[in-house]
């Protein structure tokens, strides 16, 4: 009788084991999102540290400065943009990260489109930090930039170029339009 009972339990256990192995899915491991804080900011500054920002695009130059804690166009005289537009432009500049360093101490800038940059952005915070933007990378989602003070060619996202272009094109009373 004990052998019959043992055999019955063995059959029941085997059936449950087969069911679990065949039909139950293993629990999914929850993957934590990757941290994106490992990118170097090109302009590693706080907005409060910045004295002025200048943009040059298509032969048109604009300078931004803060007056009463609000960003405004300071040069050329008579040019106008909403404070929100100016704030957004400064934020886009400060949020720019270096996606990768392409070349240190570059000799040939033409291959990156930096011999005649499409855009120049200079941030003055006691000392000036300048970024010259060239052509898009082969992937089209980033572009080459010359970090003038650190003497290196870097890849940055195209968002900065797009934002600066839209900003300059939407300024009222800008000479050269």
The verdict on residue 67 lying in a domain is yes
Q: Is residue 154 part of a domain?
A: yes
pLDDT digits (tens, 9 = 90+) for 68-126: 888 898 988 888 888 899 899 999 999 899 998 898 998 889 999 999 998 999 999 88
The sheet that has 70-75: what strands, in order across it? 70-75, 60-67, 52-57, 119-124, 128-136, 142-147, 152-157, 100-104
- pLDDT digits 0-9 by tens, 19-61: 877 777 666 555 555 555 577 888 888 888 889 999 998 888 9
C-alpha to C-alpha distance for 144 and 157, rounded to whole angstroms: 9
In terms of phi and psi (left: phi > 0; alpha: psi -120 to 50; beta: otherwise), the region of 27 is beta
Return all residues near 171 (Cβ < 8 A) that are at least 6 apart.
Answer: 62, 73, 79, 80, 81
What confidence score (pLDDT) does residue 134 get? 93
Whether 176 maps to a domain, the answer reads no
Composition of the chain by helix, strand, coil, percent to 5: 30, 35, 40
Q: How many domains does the chain have?
A: 1
> Angle formed by the axes of helices 159-169 and 83-94, to 10°?
160
Task: Go through 88-111 and write b for each residue having 16 or more CB atoms within 10 A of its CB, e for each that does not.
Answer: bbbebbbebbbbeebbeeeeebee
Q: Residue 73 falls within a domain, yes or no?
A: yes
Return the pLDDT at 37: 57
In a domain? residue 24: no
Output the pTM of the full model: 0.74
Query: Does residue 160 lie in a domain region?
Result: yes
Q: Does 19 map to a domain?
A: no
pLDDT, mean of residues 150-169: 90
How far does CA 89 lie from the centroid of its chain?
Answer: 13
Task: Let me know if residue 14 belongs to a domain.
Answer: no
- Each residue of 112-142: pLDDT tens digit? 999 999 899 999 988 999 999 999 988 888 9
Residue 157 lies in domain: 40-169
């Amino acid at each position: 009788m004990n052998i019959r009972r043992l055999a019955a339990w063995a059959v029941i256990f085997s059936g449950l084991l087969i069911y679990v192995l065949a039909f139950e899915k293993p629990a999914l491991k929850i993957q934590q999102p990757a941290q994106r804080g490992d990118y170097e900011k090109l302009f590693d500054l706080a907005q409060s540290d910045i004295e002025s920002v200048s943009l040059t695009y298509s032969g048109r130059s604009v300078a931004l400065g803060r007056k009463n804690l609000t960003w405004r166009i300071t040069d050329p005289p008579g040019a106008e943009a909403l404070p929100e537009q100016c704030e957004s432009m400064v934020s886009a500049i400060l949020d720019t990260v270096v996606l990768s360093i392409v070349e240190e101490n570059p000799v040939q800038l033409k291959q990156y489109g930096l011999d005649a940059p499409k855009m120049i952005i200079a941030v003055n915070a006691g000392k000036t930090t300048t970024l010259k933007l060239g052509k898009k990378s082969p992937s089209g989602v980033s572009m080459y930039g010359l970090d003038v003070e650190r003497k290196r060619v870097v890849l940055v996202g195209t968002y900065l170029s797009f934002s600066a272009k839209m900003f300059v094109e939407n300024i009222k009373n800008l000479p050269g339009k």
